[in-house]
């Protein structure tokens, strides 16, 4: 950007890319720098697609993360922490058509030192219901893990990018809990993750991906 005094006359206003103005009884002209559009490299285009897709997932699981990631680094929101934990699981498979894939089976929704809960699930086609069976005992005997710990599952539809969390029971209870899938969800696109928190919800176990029995 160039600034230079105007010799001819008392000018003000704009002409082409030059703006004329007065300052301290002197007249100046300021020429704007010319913007040159730069082509993005292949690496930059891939990064743009990956971050765009990860931000979509981050928004999708925003309310889920309040339960599964109660603690995150001070400089990160829970959604940004989720992106940081999972960005390596996102890959551009077709740059020309902007196709991005994500490894949902290995996605991380919770991190922590507690023991993971023992959860299995089955699916009933007629009622579109998933039945979760929580096994009591065993895992609650790890140091620091109590029967009052809460067991949760996260349900995520990978095409619609919708998700919610369900509290099943406490770690000490052996229960079977049924959950009906939302009407627009397709069972083939549903991913389920289990994890546990302590009674206060401040500590968590790692999450893990469930498969249908």
Q: pLDDT tens digits for 5-17?
A: 444 444 445 556 6
Residue with tokens 């968590």: 204
Q: What is the mean pLDDT of the chain?
A: 85
Eight-class DSSP state of 211: -
Instruction: Report the pLDDT value the prediction gives residue 160, as an integer from 0 to 100.
Output: 95
Higher pLDDT, 186 or 36: 186
Instruction: Report the pLDDT value the prediction gives residue 15, as an integer from 0 to 100.
Output: 56
Whole-number percent of the chain with pLDDT over 70? 80
Residue 33's pLDDT band (cuts 50, 70, 90):
low
Residue 103 scores a pLDDT above 90: yes
Higher pLDDT, 135 or 88: 88
Residue 31's pLDDT band (cuts 50, 70, 90):
low
Q: What is the per-residue pLDDT across 129-187, written as a single tens digit (0 to 9) for each?
A: 999 999 876 444 566 678 889 999 999 999 999 999 999 999 888 789 999 999 999 99
Whole-number percent of the chain with pLDDT over 90? 59
Instruction: Report the pLDDT value the prediction gives residue 1, as an integer from 0 to 100.
Output: 43
The pTM of this model reads 0.79
Q: What is the per-residue pLDDT across 110-141, written as a single tens digit (0 to 9) for each?
A: 998 898 999 999 999 988 999 999 987 644 45
Q: Is 11 helix (H, G, I), strand (E, B) or coil?
A: coil
For residue 102, give both structure tokens.
């994500």
Q: What is the per-residue pLDDT across 66-76, written as a single tens digit (0 to 9) for each?
A: 999 998 888 88
Instruction: Report the pLDDT value the prediction gives residue 209, as an integer from 0 to 100.
Output: 97
Instruction: Report the pLDDT value the prediction gives residue 35, as an integer from 0 to 100.
Output: 62
Instruction: Report the pLDDT value the prediction gives residue 171, as an integer from 0 to 100.
Output: 87
Q: What is the CATH number of domain 42-210?
A: 2.60.40.10
Spatial CA neighbour of 117 closest among 17, 8, 52, 210: 210
Q: What is the 3-state secondary structure (H, E, C) of 132-183?
A: EEECCCCHHHCCCCCCCCEEEEEEEECCCCEEEEEEEEECCCCEEEEEECCC
Domain residue limits, the chain? 2-31, 42-210
- Give the list of residues 6+ apart from residue 115 with CB closer than 8 angstroms, or none: 139, 140, 142, 145, 196, 205
């Amino acid at each position: 950007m160039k600034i230079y005094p105007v010799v001819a006359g008392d000018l003000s206003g704009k002409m082409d890319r030059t703006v004329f103005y007065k300052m301290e009884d002197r007249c100046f002209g300021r020429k704007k720098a010319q913007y040159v559009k730069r082509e993005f490299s292949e690496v930059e285009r891939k990064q743009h697609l990956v971050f765009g897709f990860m931000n979509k997932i981050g928004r999708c699981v925003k309310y889920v993360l309040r339960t599964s990631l109660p603690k995150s680094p001070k400089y990160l929101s829970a959604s940004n922490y989720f992106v940081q934990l999972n960005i390596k699981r996102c890959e551009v498979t077709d740059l020309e058509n902007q196709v991005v894939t994500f490894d949902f089976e290995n996605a991380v929704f919770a991190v922590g030192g507690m023991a993971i809960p023992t959860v299995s699930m089955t699916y009933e086609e007629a009622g579109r219901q998933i039945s979760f069976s929580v096994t009591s005992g065993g895992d609650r005997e790890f140091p620091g893990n109590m029967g009052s710990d809460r067991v949760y599952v996260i349900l995520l539809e990978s095409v619609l990018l919708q998700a919610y969390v369900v509290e099943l029971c406490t770690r000490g209870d052996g229960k079977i809990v049924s959950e009906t899938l939302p009407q627009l969800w397709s069972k083939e696109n549903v991913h389920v993750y289990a994890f546990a928190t302590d009674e206060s919800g401040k500590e968590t176990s790692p999450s893990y991906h469930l498969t249908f029995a």
